[in-house]
Amino acid sequence: MAKGFHGRIGDVDLRLLRVFRAVVANGGFAAAQVELNVGRSTISKHMADLEDRLGLTLCRRGRAGFELTEHGAALHAHAEQLLKSLDDFRAQVSGLHTDLVGELRIGLMDHMVGDPATPVVPALTRLAARAPAVTLNLSILAPDAVEAALLDNRLHVGVLPERERRQPGLTYRPLYAEDCCLYCGPGHPLFERAADAPVESLLEHAYASLSYSESQHLAALFGTGWAPVSITATARQIEAIAFLLLTGRYLGFLPRHVGAGWERDGRLRAVRPDATTISTGMLAATHATRPDTAVLRAFLAELGTASAPKGAPAFT
């Protein structure tokens, strides 16, 4: 008997298709582990089950990396259409209810939990109290990965910093400001004179930079002259930048609330905070055209309330 989706498509089939979509979005099995919150062996088994269910080879893995087959590319396009339709249907049906039910998938950055200014914790607290039946699913991702997940319906909302370019297809709402500052670690030439180092001398040192974006910080500090900066180490998480700075080999920007703990321990020092402190807007991003669920609207309202200055109206 030929294989394929014969008869009804069940929950197991949809779960396998969601795994497949996440693997494709992340460019391979290993990279999809964080989003799916399962091990590589489990992902491999799910993919094997899907291929066996369909009787098709969907991808190739090897030294050349992850690659979709022709059948895999075609299935991915069909799966995206199906899963988007299901998500839209759930959103529309959820909107018919006055009770808050369903799932809310949120993308955040790794360092936000320690920021006393973030409205995420109070917003989650109030939502959990209002809607105990809602299932919360939080993912820690880089900002570009948050935007990609929003665009292909893997997230409902993301909280991320303002970047040089906003993604078409997403709506951004301002939340709060995060202050960042330049830091260095013990052994760095500027460590002993971090408070009074000439700003022009900062161009002479190697930098550790976030791989997805740092140019707005450098441009704010050096203006059009930032291009000669030597970026010799990159990372995709703030905590990874801290690791690099602790070696004493690099300068790099950290949020002040992250750097403050290392400063208290004497393991990092802020470099000319009077001149290098830069304020970055933090935004709530959602899909521009996908119908909002009642749960998403409630969470956005809570974010707006928690982030609004006292006496100011919250966004909705």
Helix H or strand E segment including 283:
strand 278-287
Show the low-confidence residues of the chain (pLDDT under 70): 1-7, 91-99, 213-216, 224-227, 309-316
- For the stretch 293-304, pLDDT in tens is 889 999 999 999
pLDDT of residue 222: 75
Give the class (CATH, top level) of 94-172+291-307.
Answer: alpha beta
Q: What crossing angle do the helices spanning 70-94 and 11-26 adopt, rounded to 10°?
A: 120
pLDDT of residue 221: 76
- For the stretch 69-98, pLDDT in tens is 999 999 999 988 888 888 777 766 665 555
Phi, psi dihedrals of residue 239, rounded to the nearest 5°:
-65, -30
pLDDT of residue 7: 62
Residue 241 and residue 268 in contact, taking contact as beta carbons nearer than 8 Å: no
d(CA 9, CA 121): 38
Kindly list the domain boundaries of the chain, sorted by start residue. 11-93, 94-172+291-307
The architecture (CATH level 2) of 11-93 comes to: Orthogonal Bundle (1.10)
d(CA 306, CA 168): 27
d(CA 234, CA 211): 5
pLDDT of residue 313: 46
pLDDT of residue 124: 96
Give the DSSP letter of residue 113. G
R_g of the chain computed on alpha carbons: 23
